[in-house]
Amino acid sequence: MYGTLRPGAYNHDRFLAGRIGTEADAVLHGAVLHDGPGYPYVVPADGGRVVGTLLTPAPGAYGELFGLLDRLELPVGYERVAMDVVRVRDSARVSAWVFLAAPDAPLGAVIESGDWFNRP
């Protein structure tokens, strides 16, 4: 997660409490972060990087968690895509579901830092 669902952001506890087993800092390479209408969007782009958190569902929570995330994210302009991210603690490449901006998403300015928590 790279926006309002990251640990410390306002939607994390609201939607993810009790559904997450582990959390690890991660980076998505080959993408840029755009501001949106109160939440960010990620768009693939050569040379870009997006800072986020790799969330692993708690045992038994995978289906429930992705049902909830799909209902939350898909109607507001996201598509769920499998991509490789790099886990910061050990530089491991990990396949993860990433919510990318759909073609008609209302993209704002690029967030140059690639970090929703470090935006202007």
Convert the pLDDT of each residue in 58-67 to its tens digit: 999 999 998 9
Tell me what the mean pLDDT of segment 47-70 comes to: 94
Grouping H, G, I as helix, E, B as strand and the rest as coil, residue 9 is: coil
| Residue 102 CA to its chain's centroid (Å) | 14
Tell me what the mean pLDDT of segment 107-114 comes to: 97
119 closest CA partner among 53, 46, 34: 34
Q: Write out pLDDT tens, residues 82-101.
A: 999 999 999 999 999 999 99
Q: Is the pTM of this model over 0.85?
A: yes
Residue type, 6: R
Whether 58 and 19 have beta carbons less than 8 Å apart is answered as yes
